[in-house]
């Protein structure tokens, strides 16, 4: 480990390049949180993001249709006015008849939705050009489909794995306990895999939404710890770090001296103990046992002083 490169060994140009990359990742993570909020909030009809919104996104809701979930959640901002959303929800509640569709729903969809929800757009979203296409979305919401989850899964696995790899390659240059470094590098990869697994599990069982949230939180915490700790070790003045190391060494030496002195006293007491015990017991087995104890304590004291 003595020959491994650390942040103190790299040039200022490398530090600038690494820092800009890490800051871009940190900013991208903030935008990803915003994307999660905008995409899933309001699906349960209440403002803000909740576990219920996550459940509806992946598991669906028998009390709500796909169209209602969309205009209550991520598509609400695309409608020109709250009155348009109310009109569409009323049409769904009244039975989604074709007669009311032409006058109550079609004009709003043509104005606000067909830019994306039409075959001409080339986007893989449900088309809303005809009544037959729209009425399919007024059935009970069954959550995310397996094909859509597979499509998003491969994007996440390729994209996030690359981010975690490059951030981890920089993080290994940090000077810290090896066990903590290995744990911090492994947690985001495991969290990514459990997060994606939780999508499929939540689709079947809504209680797994908690697993999805916890996995995402662990991924974010471990990733940000790597980013900010790497930035700290790249730019914190060496004198500050040296002072911290000096304080830790003093503390370690103090603990070693105290433990060594205590063991010296124990060894001394053990060396004085055999004559007293032998006078009382007069047994050869007792003598041998106490001699072994004396040797063991002396070896332990010598090991602590040498380390």
Q: What is the pLDDT of residues 56-70, one digit of tens each?
A: 889 887 677 777 777
Q: Which pLDDT value is given to residue 229?
A: 95
The predicted model gives 127-131 an average pLDDT of: 83
Indicate yes or no: pTM above 0.75.
Answer: no
The predicted model gives 141-154 an average pLDDT of: 87
Cβ neighbours around 7 below 10 Å, total: 19
Q: Determine the 3-state secondary structure of 37 from DSSP.
A: helix
The predicted model gives 33-54 an average pLDDT of: 85
Cβ neighbours around 200 below 10 Å, total: 15
Q: What is the DSSP letter of 236?
A: S
| 305 band by pLDDT with thresholds 50, 70 and 90 | low
Please give the structure tokens belonging to residue 79: 């409608």
| Largest Cα span, the chain | 111
| 3 band by pLDDT with thresholds 50, 70 and 90 | low
Q: Determine the 3-state secondary structure of 61 from DSSP.
A: strand
Nearest of 28, 53, 29, 31 to residue 42 by alpha carbon? 53
Cβ neighbours around 133 below 10 Å, total: 14
Alpha carbon distance 151, 42 (integer Å):
24
Q: Which pLDDT value is given to residue 198?
A: 95
Is the per-residue pLDDT at 291 higher than 90?
no
What proportion of the chain, given as a percentage, has pLDDT over 90?
35
Give domain limits for the chain: 61-141, 145-235, 238-306
Query: What is the separation of C-alpha 90 from the centre of its chain, rounded to a whole number of angstroms?
Result: 40
Mean pLDDT of the chain: 81
């Amino acid at each position: 480990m003595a020959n491994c490169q650390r942040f103190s060994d790299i040039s200022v140009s490398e530090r600038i390049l690494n820092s800009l990359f890490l800051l871009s990742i940190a900013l991208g993570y903030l935008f990803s949180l915003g994307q999660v909020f905008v995409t899933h909030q309001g699906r349960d009809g209440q403002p803000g993001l909740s576990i219920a919104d996550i459940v509806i996104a992946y598991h669906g809701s028998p009390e709500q249709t796909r169209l209602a979930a969309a205009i209550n959640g991520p598509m609400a901002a695309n409608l020109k006015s709250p009155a348009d959303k109310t009109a569409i929800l009323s049409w769904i509640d009244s039975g989604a008849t074709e007669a009311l569709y032409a006058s109550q729903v079609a004009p709003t969809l043509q104005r606000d939705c067909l830019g994306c929800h039409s075959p001409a757009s080339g986007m893989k979203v449900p088309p809303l050009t005809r009544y037959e296409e729209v009425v399919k979305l007024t059935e009970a919401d069954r959550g995310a489909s397996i094909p859509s989850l597979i499509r998003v899964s491969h994007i996440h696995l390729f994209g996030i794995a690359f981010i975690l790899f490059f951030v981890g390659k920089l993080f290994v240059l940090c000077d810290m306990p090896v066990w903590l470094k290995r744990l911090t590098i492994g947690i985001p990869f495991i969290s990514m895999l459990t997060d994606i697994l939780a999508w499929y599990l939540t689709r079947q069982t809504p209680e797994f939404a908690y697993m999805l949230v916890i996995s995402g939180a662990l991924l974010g915490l471990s990733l940000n710890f790597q980013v900010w700790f790497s930035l700290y070790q790249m730019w914190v003045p060496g004198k500050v770090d040296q002072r911290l190391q000096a304080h830790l060494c003093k503390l370690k030496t103090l603990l070693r001296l105290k433990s060594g002195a205590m063991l010296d006293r124990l060894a001394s007491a053990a060396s004085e103990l055999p004559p007293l015990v032998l006078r009382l017991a007069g047994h050869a087995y007792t003598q041998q046992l106490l001699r072994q104890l004396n040797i063991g304590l002396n070896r332990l004291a010598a090991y602590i002083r040498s380390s």
